């Protein structure tokens, strides 16, 4: 078991390790370990593997072997997703939204969840349950950094990891906000570089992202 308060504390610690959490959609598990090694070497140790591919659980298993990495499972939608992610070695979870089912499943499994919220009401509901660290998703589609800043005015006790449309071009807009701990982005591991096995290029993208300032 894990309480929402403890989950938030542990996820805040993870979010403070680097300004960007790579959001990874990996089709080929054989690419998982060198990809994780490149990202960690570049200064991005916290990795979110989305459960959007058939290989995702194998990818988590491989990435969990990489020294210095902290691997989590994204796109958690069901209790079965949570159980499978934990069995594969995920150390944290991320969901696009938040239902009682997914919150309870993660709490019972002892998996620290970064739950998704898009509106003030959703943020307040999660705060009532004890989640003070949340994912703002989809960030750009929901008004971007100005919207997140506005939410923070009446709810300063909640910190966020905005994800969805975050890029190198707009990352600073989010990271400069007082209620943003880090941001999630996929640009550090583009599909063409992963397919080509260009780990050096990915390491450089990670290093650039890792150097972004956080308020």
Q: What is the pLDDT of residues 9-51, one digit of tens each?
A: 999 999 999 999 999 999 999 999 999 999 999 999 999 999 9
Cα–Cα distance, 58 to 62 (Å, whole number): 6
* CA 202 distance to own-chain centroid: 18
Contact 51, 57 (CB under 8 A): yes
Measured CA to CA, the distance from residue 130 to residue 5 in angstroms comes to: 5
Catalytic residue among 37, 135, 140, 159: 135
Out of 31, 37, 48, 107, which one is annotated catalytic?
Answer: 48
Express each pLDDT in 119-132 by its tens digit: 999 999 999 999 99
Residue 184: name the closest of 38, 61, 39 by CA: 39
144-168 tens-digit pLDDT: 999 999 999 999 999 999 999 999 9
Q: Is 48 a catalytic residue?
A: yes
Mean pLDDT for all residues in the chain: 98
Residue 181: other Cβ atoms inside 10 A: 23
pTM score: 0.97
Residues 95-110 have pLDDT tens digits of 999 999 999 999 999 9
Q: What is the pLDDT of residues 67-95, one digit of tens each?
A: 999 999 999 999 999 999 999 999 999 99
User: How many alpha carbons fall within 13 Å on the CB side of residue 145?
Assistant: 16
Q: Taking 90 as the threshold, does the pLDDT of residue 215 lie above it? A: no
SS3 78: coil
pLDDT for res 91: 98
User: pLDDT digits over 28-37, tens only?
Assistant: 999 999 999 9
């Amino acid at each position: 078991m894990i309480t929402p308060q403890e989950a938030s504390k542990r996820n805040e610690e993870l979010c403070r390790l680097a300004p960007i959490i790579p959001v990874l959609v990996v089709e080929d598990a054989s690419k998982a370990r060198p990809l994780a090694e490149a990202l960690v070497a570049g200064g991005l140790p916290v990795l979110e593997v989305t459960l959007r591919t058939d290989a995702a659980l194998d990818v988590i298993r491989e990435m969990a072997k990489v020294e210095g990495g902290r691997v989590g499972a994204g796109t958690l939608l069901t209790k079965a997703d949570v159980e499978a992610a934990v069995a594969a070695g995920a150390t944290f979870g991320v969901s696009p939204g938040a239902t009682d089912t997914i919150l309870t499943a993660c709490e019972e499994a002892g998996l620290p969840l970064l739950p998704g919220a898009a509106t003030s009401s959703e943020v307040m509901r999660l705060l009532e349950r004890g989640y003070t660290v949340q994912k703002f998703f989809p960030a750009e589609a929901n008004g971007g950094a100005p919207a997140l800043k506005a939410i923070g005015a009446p709810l300063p006790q909640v910190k966020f990891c905005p994800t969805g449309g975050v890029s190198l071009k707009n990352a600073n807009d989010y990271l400069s906000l007082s209620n943003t701990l880090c941001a999630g982005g996929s640009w550090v591991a583009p599909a063409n570089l992963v397919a080509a096995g260009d780990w050096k290029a990915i390491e450089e993208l990670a290093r650039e992202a890792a150097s972004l300032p956080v308020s």
